[in-house]
């Protein structure tokens, strides 16, 4: 059985107004992950992603760069207890 995890990430840099949330949703859906991405008032993007550990790791690696127009300057994460979401949403 594959281990399932959730991670809670904060992405900083030029990450709002560059299709970051929509691109994150697209990547997460390709990987079969659930959770959400949303803009924060301080300019960061918050991401919660849940699924198979190796697929969550792939999304985390993608978040280090983000979509073409993004410029990620900082990425932090913590592992969370398993949570159930219906799909992956942008909020």
Q: Catalytic one among 21, 38, 44, 86?
A: 21
Q: How far apart are CA 38 and CA 56, in angstroms?
A: 17
38 is catalytic: no
Per-residue b/e over 38-63, b at no fewer than 16 CB within 10 Å? ebeeeebbebbbbbbeebbebbeebb
86 is catalytic: no
Q: Catalytic one among 39, 44, 71, 86?
A: 39
Catalytic residues: 21, 39
């Amino acid at each position: 059985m594959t281990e399932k995890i959730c991670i809670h990430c904060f992405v900083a840099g030029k990450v709002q107004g560059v299709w970051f949330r929509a691109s994150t949703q697209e990547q997460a859906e390709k990987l079969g992950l659930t959770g959400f991405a949303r803009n924060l008032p301080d300019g960061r993007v918050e991401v919660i992603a849940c699924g198979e550990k190796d697929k969550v790791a792939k999304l985390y690696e993608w978040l280090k760069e983000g979509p073409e127009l993004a410029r990620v300057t900082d990425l932090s994460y913590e592992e969370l207890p398993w949570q159930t979401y219906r799909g992956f949403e942008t909020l």
